[in-house]
Amino acid sequence: MALVVICGQPCSGKSTAAKCLAEALNESECKQTVRIIDETSFHLDRNQSYANMPSEKNLRGVLRSEVDRSVSKDNIIIVDSLNSIKGYRYELWCLARAAGIRYCVLYCDVGESHCRKWNEERREKGEAAYNDVIFEDLVRRFEKPDRRNRWDSPLFELWAHNDRVERSSIAIVDVVSYLTKKADSKSRDVKILQPTIATQNTRFSAANSLYEMDRATQEVINAIVEAQSQSIGGPLASISIGQGLPNIDISRSVGLPELRRLRRTFIKLTGQTSLSGRPPPSDSNSAKRMFVDYLNRELGTIA
């Protein structure tokens, strides 16, 4: 039903805000399942995750993939992380648009001095904290959300250094109201993102279907090439590619260029069909079955 992106400087109260928001939603009339996705869900250490750019990129990829798998119209996903890069928030917004759900950003607006103080207090208590080098780097690179950007809107601001972060905080109450408000023709202040062809194609690739299709079709091509090489110009019998899968029936030698052309056309046609019809195959056997049927039909061996 919704995707909530929580962002803010390191040690700005984001995790506390995420917990309070989840509790407030569970206590409301919301019937959807509420889930928080954060670094601790994957046992990721904050200093190691932000030690260098490859590690940080990997962290964002892990969280984004989990969001992509989790967003639906049956739950509310809260992403509790820095989410400090506007390009990354745009990617999350695209996932929400592709799923056709509500989206909002909860910004923990806390000054650097307060964040630095809270980080030091956590370190003194032996709690999870950033080391000074990483903390200063993250503070310097933080890109503040702007409500004029569609991927930062609607934007709810929470000032944790002035007020205690709790379920009754104004920003938390406003987010709950926005997420649970009934949307109809009269609701102009509730935005339900609508999927487009571009975002549907993105989800198709992100869901790993394209990878499975590419790998499965290549395995079929390899099986044909190997069978033809073993026949040494002789007649070909049916080529088996696995139990429960149809055989490849070709009565003539088919060159690799032709096979590659057929493979490219098949992948293109399947991708185009998925945008307006049934989704593409998400597992290897389904992709192989479809490709073999396509080859048998194109090579004219099916009556």
Task: Report the C-alpha gap between 102 and 2 in whole angstroms.
Answer: 4
Task: Report the C-alpha gap between 133 and 56 in whole angstroms.
Answer: 15
pLDDT at 279: 55
**What is the average pLDDT score of the chain?**
85
Pick the most confident of 51-60, 154-163, 197-206: 51-60
pLDDT confidence bin for 34, thresholds 50/70/90: very high
pTM surpassing 0.85? no
Q: What number is the average pLDDT over the span 94-104?
A: 92
pLDDT exceeds 50 at position 268: yes
pLDDT confidence bin for 206, thresholds 50/70/90: very low
Query: Domain 2-180: what homologous superfamily?
Result: P-loop containing nucleotide triphosphate hydrolases (3.40.50.300)
Range of weakest confidence among 1-10, 119-128, 283-292: 283-292
pLDDT confidence bin for 184, thresholds 50/70/90: low
Q: What number is the average pLDDT over the span 274-291?
A: 68
Task: Report the C-alpha gap between 135 and 9 in whole angstroms.
Answer: 9
Which run of H or E residues covers position 201?
Answer: helix 197-206
pLDDT at 188: 58
Which run of H or E residues covers position 8?
Answer: strand 2-8
- Sign of the alpha-carbon torsion through 151, 21, 107, 171: positive
pLDDT in tens, 141-157: 999 999 999 999 999 99
pLDDT in tens, 2-23: 999 999 999 999 999 999 999 9
Are 288 and 245 a contacting pair, CB within 8 Å?
yes
Q: When comparing pLDDT for 120 and 252, which is higher? A: 120
249-280: burial string, b at 16+ Cβ within 10 Å, e else: ebeeebeeeebeebbeebbeebbeebeeeeeb
Are 138 and 82 a contacting pair, CB within 8 Å?
yes
pLDDT exceeds 70 at position 278: no
pLDDT exceeds 70 at position 194: yes
Kindly list the domain boundaries of the chain, sorted by start residue: 2-180, 207-299
SS3 52: coil
